[in-house]
A = this chain, B = another copy of it.
Amino acid sequence: MELEFIDWLARRVPAHPLLRVGIGDDAAQLGTTGDTLVTVDMLNDGVDFDLRRDAPRRIGRKALAVNLSDIAAMAGRPTAAVVSLALPREGGLELARELYAGLLPLAESYQVALAGGDTNSWDGPLAISITLLGSVTPRGALVRSGARPGDRILVTGQFGGSILGRHFDFEPRVAEALTLHDAYELHAGIDVSDGLSLDTSRIARASGCGAVLDLDRIPVSVAAGELARQDGRTPLAHALSDGEDFELVLAVGPAEARRMLADQPLGIPLTEIGEFVQESGLWSRDASGSLAPLEPAGYQHELR
């Protein structure tokens, strides 16, 4: 959601006794005990995919996977999904079947109940919106606003170049978030949907602090290197600003961070890439330790 619009909306949405975490986080947290998570993501032809090029099964899978990633960002357990489809009139039935053929196996592997849907034909292009519910574990929901100055910034996996294929086929970090949230004390978290630097700055902003990224420690994906060879930008620039990595960025106290890095409890690498600091803003730090302002970069949702 575009920032100006989020702010406009947030001012107009009245407080509600059910709503513990609302507009602006990865998922909303509901219920008098805050035990239900709900998140929605819509993918649209020509923006999030191109139906002339991309297989409907991959699109269907991704439409659920991005929502699973939002529940992972809150360290929740996904429970049930509903799907709404706006299908082009011609070939809509076959398209719907293919979309479901992509999303049903993913739902099953994450034990998500497919609870219903609304399937429509129209003269417009394909739009698919999935709402995913989740439940909070006994440790509570992981939110964006809990980072404290001195916390280390830990990330899962590698960054950049997901457009070459991983943005469809990524594995949402649901299991990883549950494992970490259960075994360690995490202060804050987010999933990288719009870009590592942009999403890290969102934790900082929500937590009322700043963030320093150690540029030489960013795990850069092989795909970021490939993309850099194609477009002349650096692999690091891609890692910092490309969207749809769907990895986790976590804020963790220094001692806990050391323990996590030594344990490496996941099947994928956990890497320290910087720290949260008192002074607001986003900063880069090079190998010599000198700081420079870093413009948060990534996918900016436009609304005119």
Given contacts A42-B129, A131-B40, A304-B90, contact A80 B28 (CB under 8 A): yes
Interface centre among A30, A113, A116 (most CB of B within 10 A): A116
- CA distance in complex: A150, B37 (Å): 43
Given contacts A111-B16, A303-B93, contact A116 B39 (CB under 8 A): yes
Decide: B12 and A124 in contact? CB cutoff 8 A.
no
Chain B residues with CB below 8 A from A87, complex form: 303
Asked if A91 lies at the interface with its beta carbon under 8 angstroms from chain B, I say yes
Option from B47, B93, B115, B118 in Cβ contact (under 8 Å) with A19: B115
Contacts of A118 in B (CB 8 A): 1, 40-42, 129
User: Quick check: is A222 within 8 A (CB to CB) of the other chain?
Assistant: no
Whether A84 is near chain B, meaning CB under 8 Å from some CB there, is yes
| Other-chain contact of A304, B22, B91, B129 (Cβ < 8 Å) | B91
Note all chain B residues with C-beta closer than 8 A to A104: 12-13
How many copies of this chain does the complex contain?
2
Interface size on A, residues (CB 8 A): 68
Q: With CB as the reference atom, state the residue of chain B lying closest to A1.
A: B119
Give every chain B residue within 8 A of A46 (Cβ-Cβ).
Answer: 122-124
List the B side residues contacting A116 at CB < 8 Å.
22-23, 25, 27-28, 38-40
* Contact assessment for B14 and A108 in the assembled complex, using a CB-CB cutoff below 8 Å: yes
Partner among B86, B96, B115 whose Cβ is within 8 Å of the Cβ of A42:
B86
A83 to B301, CA, bound (A): 16
For A97, the closest partner residue in chain B by CB is B8
Q: Which residues of B contact A42 (CB under 8 A)?
A: 84-86, 118, 120, 129
A30 touches B93 (CB 8 A): no
Question: A236-252 interface mask toward B, CB cutoff 8 Å, 1 = contact, 0 = none?
Answer: 00000000000000000
- The answer for the CA separation of A122 and B79 in the assembled complex, in Å, is 30
Any B CB within 8 A of the CB of A127? yes
Residue A176 interfacial (CB < 8 Å): no
Which residues from chain B contact A97 at a C-beta distance below 8 Å? 5, 8
Distance, CA A97 to CA B118, complexed state (A):
24
16 new A-B contacts at CB < 8 Å, known A42-B86, A127-B127: A5-B97, A5-B119, A9-B100, A23-B114, A23-B116, A30-B79, A38-B115, A39-B82, A40-B82, A44-B122, A82-B131, A87-B303, A123-B125, A124-B124, A129-B129, A131-B131
Q: List 5 A-B contacts (CB under 8 A).
A: A5-B97, A40-B117, A42-B84, A84-B84, A121-B301
User: Which 4 pairs from chain A and chain B are nearest by CB?
Assistant: A28-B115, A16-B113, A131-B131, A42-B84
